[in-house]
Amino acid sequence: MRHIKEFTTYLQVEKEISPNSYSAYMRDLSEFEDYAKVAENKVTRNHVRGFLFSLDEKANQPITRRRKLTSLRMYFQYLENEKLVKENPTKGIANPRVEEKEPSYLNEKEIKMLMAVINDGRDEVIMKTLVETGIRLSELAQLDIHDIDTKNKTIKVKRKGNKNQTLPINQNLSTLLKAFIKDRQSTEPLILSSLKKRMSKRRLQIMVKGYFKKAKILKDNISVHSLRHSFCVRLLEKDVDLRTIQILAGHSSITSTERYLHVSAEQLRRKGVVFAEVN
């Protein structure tokens, strides 16, 4: 595709998307280019539909096909806005239907089980930060020492789109972090690997999943993201309004936050959701 270079500049400068999103867009567009084998101004709806159908034959999940369609839609919208194509060929193509699953989260017993199997100081910081702030794994991986302010009990997180947000932390986590970063350089990554380098998102994911397994938390749909869901559910049960939860969770759309509304207070109490700090 001839205009990829200009599009990448647009994504990085104007949209300020995250490195992970940038990589996904480039991968999706490359796959489509290999499939269609025509210039942008020759692409039709049939090319787009055929591409999505070919993904379906390869047993891709609907959410994956929806993401790829989003990548194409954004690219051709950019080309249309820049007068590089007459019409966006993705117009009129509906998003693949994705089944919305109930957010999976941990209850009080499961959180205590999880924390009980951790005997490493660094890993305790990782798990408590995820549980008590609800930040994403990628956001945790990007934290540096200077992002932690134990005096004012805040952390500065780089959200999607490279936007910084300052979040409050509780006394429990603040005390733990204060001891963890004592005598360390402010420019150091918060979480270091055994090689004294910034711990990658992938390595963090493997580590957290390992603790789920060690704690024998094997419920359906459990994932690292379940810790984030647990955070949002606790706030909802404490009658925190949706707008505040949206801000604290870093949801770009209130629709993402509204997913938790259908889980009633009675259901949450039956499932034993905890709202206190982890001790």
Q: pTM higher than 0.75 for the full model?
A: no
Give the pLDDT confidence score for residue 98 in this predicted structure.
67
Q: Which of 1-5, 119-123, 173-177 is predicted with the least confidence, judged by mean pLDDT?
A: 1-5
Cα angle vertex 83, ends 81, 87, to 5°?
75
| C-alpha dihedral, 186 to 188 to 191 to 194, nearest 10° | -140
Which CATH superfamily groups domain 108-271?
A: Intergrase catalytic core (1.10.443.10)
Q: Where are the domains of the chain?
A: 4-81, 108-271
> Mean pLDDT for the chain?
83
The DSSP secondary-structure symbol of 36 reads: H
Element (H, E) at 166: strand 163-168
Multiple choice CATH, 4-81, 1.10.150, 1.20.1300, 2.60.40, 1.10.3470: 1.10.150
- List 149's β-bridge partners, or say none: 154
- CB burial of 110-127 (b: ≥16 within 10 Å; e: otherwise) equals bbebbbebbeeebbebbb
Confidence of residue 264 (pLDDT cuts 50, 70, 90): very low
DSSP per residue over 229-242, as a string?
A: HHHHHHHHHTT--H
Radius of gyration of the chain (CA): 21
Compute the distance between CA of residue 265 and CA of residue 262 in angstroms, rounded to an integer.
9
Give the pLDDT confidence score for residue 260 in this predicted structure.
62
Compute the distance between CA of residue 158 and CA of residue 174 in angstroms, rounded to an integer.
19
Q: Do domains 4-81 and 108-271 have the same CATH topology?
A: no
